[in-house]
Amino acid sequence: MSKQMTLRLTVNNIDKLMAVRTPEFVLQNFHWDLTVFKYSGGLDIRLSGKNGSNQTPHNVKIDFKMQSSVGGVQNIEKGCNMQLRHRQCSNIVPIISWEELIKNENGFVVNNSVQFEVKVEVKVNKPEEGEPNAKKRCTANSPEAEANALTLECAICLNKIKGQDLSSTYCGHLFCTKCITNAVQAHKRCPSCNTDLDLNKLHRFYLPIVDKD
């Protein structure tokens, strides 16, 4: 059984883009979000999904289209597939180089904004006999539950949050202190929602995280 959702996104202030994340949406009992960000000289999109319970295997397909205002210019179309067998998955799709994105003749940037259409399709597969997901559900305090516990990531560097210094913005987003400090100094905005920020609006944040690696 498969279900799909099509999202139409507009990203403003593209010249100052670091990372912009969509609100969560639910598809096949998973909570998903998309992040559009500038990385390694290009524009990338990242799909993340998570759920707090055991799941049968999922196939996830992403189809991406960037709109152009110039007639005769073919829209950028990209796609990828990933398989989810645990409680979380994440995949990054490179879309276009920054040089190609900002060329006036390509027509992708209009009034310092770009528009996307992203179709996410999630298919639930029947688990094969003997697969871990075909076994009975683990209890909340079991080793399996601890191994699959939700992890947090910095939206700027995309590294897992473990024992590093953390800071939150007054608009409610959490980052590595080093990452958000550099971002605010350079752009004066929140990388997740583009809210105006200065260093006085950052607050140290402490989590009771135990690093088991």
The reported pTM is 0.56
Are both 103 and 183 inside the same structural domain?
Answer: no
Place of tokens 């179309």: 77
Quote the distance between the C-alpha of residue 24 and its chain's center: 10
Residue where a domain terminates, one of 102, 137, 172: 137
Helix, coil or strand: residue 78: strand
* Tens-digit pLDDT profile for residues 37-95: 887 678 888 888 777 555 555 677 888 888 888 876 666 777 667 665 556 667 777 88
Residues whose CB is less than 8 angstroms from the CB of residue 6 and which lie 6 or more positions away in sequence, other chains included = 117, 118, 119, 120
How far is it, in rounded angstroms, from Cα 82 to Cα 107? 31
Are both 126 and 168 inside the same structural domain?
Answer: no
Are both 43 and 104 inside the same structural domain?
Answer: yes
Q: Is position 198 within any domain?
A: yes
Are both 155 and 121 inside the same structural domain?
Answer: no
Q: Residue 103: give its domain's CATH number.
A: 2.60.210.10
Are both 166 and 117 inside the same structural domain?
Answer: no
pLDDT band at 143 (very low <50, low <70, confident <90, very high): very low
Residue where a domain terminates, one of 96, 112, 137: 137
Domain range enclosing 118: 2-137
Q: Is position 145 within any domain?
A: no
pLDDT on residue 173: 81
In this model, does residue 150 exceed pLDDT 60?
Answer: no
